[in-house]
């Protein structure tokens, strides 16, 4: 079925057209917009590995230590390096590889989301396709066509959840292990998939498969965190370097609350206002999802991503992007839209795509700080 790919790629292509228009209006080069911030780091790591990252790349304090690049998980840059190597490993080859991986991963994620939409209680092909469109048009979905790791992570996460819903424990374990090499957000996935495998073991379901799947689940995430601990000589080396370089740590939401209060008591920027609304909306969707009795592993994952996002004191401007992997929170919206007439669905999704495409383009060409 081509529909998931066509819907996903169509919306993302529209987003690129809007970005091109915004780039022209603001005189901000489109190529620079698409390869800035974290993309620069991933391409730098792909070029020289962790030990030979270009010296111009620094942390939030304009400093750099040998451990600084370790803040970025290896899955995405390594894949860029492997794909570019047969073509000479040049800068152009790495750039093409990075964009190719991102686009292909997004398509793979779209097919997994379509499958999730069919597998949930009361699910259908219609719900699955609407879920694909909602994900493709999500706020800050512009990073799904950038050399960022979100698309790759979301693809692995979505297929891991498909594995759980279909009780394909090997698929769930392998996909979760791969996701653990891509982003720290995998902690929420490890929790959800690991608990689901444990429940299957306790209930003595599916024989040896949940045992093996459960053993695979934490390998990627814990493996990388352990390697960083070895490199830095600190048990919590990854978290310490995140705090030293980006003042990023889990504070239970204190910094997010202060950001919201401060932003609401002065003139709001577009990005700040949208960020606050989206976080509130995500909280509401968690409540709705539980009331709808969606499969609990999906909700555990979505809630885990949300808690990690709200509970971190990192860059407030990044919170919308960091919420992107919580795609399961879009399911209640997809279910609600699926009950409407096709014309209403198309009009709603088209309007959403227009608004979010502009927002993504604004974030890259007008907003002056990292996303």
pLDDT tens digits, residue range 110-149?
A: 999 999 999 999 999 999 999 999 999 999 999 999 999 9
163: confidence class by pLDDT, cuts 50, 70, 90: very high
Whether the Cβ atoms of residue 158 and residue 47 lie closer than 8 Å to each other: no
State the alpha helices, DSSP H only, in the chain. Answer: 3-26, 30-34, 38-48, 75-84, 91-119, 125-136, 150-165, 169-179, 186-202, 209-216, 219-232, 237-246, 254-264, 270-291, 296-311, 319-322, 331-338, 342-365
Residue 343 is predicted with a pLDDT of 97
pLDDT at 365 over 90: yes
pLDDT of residue 315: 83
Domain edges within the chain: 3-365
> Does the pLDDT at position 185 exceed 90?
yes
Work out the pLDDT band at 187, boundaries 50, 70, 90.
very high
Cα dihedral 242, 243, 249, 254 in deg (nearest 10): -140
- Distance (Å, rounded) from C-alpha 290 to C-alpha 197? 20
The pLDDT confidence band at residue 166, using thresholds 50, 70 and 90, is very high
CB-count burial class (<10 Å; 0-12, 13-18, 19+) for 6: middle
Average pLDDT of the segment spanning 5-19: 98
**Mean per-residue pLDDT for 74-100?**
96
pLDDT band at 369 (very low <50, low <70, confident <90, very high): confident
Of residues 314 and 358, more confidence is placed in 358
Report the range out of 53-62, 80-89, 293-302 with the highest average pLDDT.
293-302
Give the residue-averaged pLDDT of 184-206.
Answer: 97
Token pair of 13 as six digits: 């292509």
Enter the tokens of residue 71: 């803040």
Q: Mean pLDDT of all residues in the chain?
A: 96
Question: What pLDDT sits at residue 355?
Answer: 97
What pLDDT does residue 55 have?
A: 87
79 neighbors 152 (Cβ within 8 angstroms): yes
pLDDT of residue 60: 87
In the prediction, which pLDDT does 5 show? 98
Q: Which residues contact 54 (CB under 8 A, 6 or more apart)?
A: 44, 47, 48
pLDDT in tens, 21-38: 999 999 999 999 999 889
How far is the C-alpha of 86 from the C-alpha of 72, rounded, in Å? Answer: 24
Q: What is the pLDDT of residue 317?
A: 87
> What pLDDT sits at residue 371?
86
Cβ–Cβ under 8 Å, residues 206 and 170: no
**Residue 83's pLDDT is what?**
96
Mean pLDDT check: name the lowest of 7-16, 185-194, 209-218, 268-277. Answer: 268-277
Which of helix, strand or coil describes residue 52?
coil
């Amino acid at each position: 079925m081509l529909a998931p790919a066509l819907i996903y790629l169509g919306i993302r292509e529209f987003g690129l057209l809007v970005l091109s228009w915004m780039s022209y209006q603001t005189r901000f080069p489109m190529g620079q917009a698409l390869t800035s911030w974290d993309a620069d780091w991933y391409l730098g790591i792909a070029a020289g590995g962790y030990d030979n990252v270009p010296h111009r790349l620094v942390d939030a304090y304009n400093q750099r230590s040998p451990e600084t690049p370790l803040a970025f998980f290896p899955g995405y840059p390594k894949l860029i390096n492997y794909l570019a190597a047969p073509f000479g490993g040049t800068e152009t080859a790495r750039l093409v590889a990075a964009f190719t991986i991102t686009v292909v991963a997004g398509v793979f994620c779209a097919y997994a989301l379509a499958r999730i939409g069919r597998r949930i209680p009361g699910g259908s092909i219609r719900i699955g396709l609407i879920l694909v469109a909602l994900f493709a048009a999500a706020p800050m979905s512009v990073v799904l066509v950038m050399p960022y790791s979100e698309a790759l992570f979301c693809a692995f996460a979505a297929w891991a959840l498909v594995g759980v819903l279909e009780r394909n424990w090997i698929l769930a374990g392998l996909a979760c292990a791969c996701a653990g090499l891509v982003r720290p957000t995998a902690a929420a996935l490890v929790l959800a998939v690991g608990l689901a495998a444990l429940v299957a073991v306790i209930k003595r379901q599916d024989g040896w498969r949940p045992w093996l799947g459960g053993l695979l689940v934490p390998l990627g995430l814990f493996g990388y965190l352990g390697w960083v601990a070895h490199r830095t000589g600190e048990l919590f080396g990854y978290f310490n370097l995140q705090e030293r370089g980006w003042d990023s740590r889990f504070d239970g939401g204190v910094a997010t609350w202060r950001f919201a209060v401060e932003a609401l008591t002065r003139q709001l920027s577009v990005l700040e206002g949208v960020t606050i609304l989206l976080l509130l909306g995500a909280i509401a969707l968690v409540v709705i999802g539980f009331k709808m009795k969606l499969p609990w592993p999906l909700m555990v994952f979505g809630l885990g991503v949300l808690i990690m996002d709200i509970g971190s004191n990192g860059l407030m401007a990044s919170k919308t992007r960091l919420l992107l992997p919580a795609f399961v929170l879009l399911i209640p919206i997809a279910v609600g839209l699926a009950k409407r007439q096709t014309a209403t669905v198309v009009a709603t999704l088209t309007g959403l795509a227009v608004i979010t495409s502009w927002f993504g383009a604004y974030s890259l060409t007008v907003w002056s700080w990292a996303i």
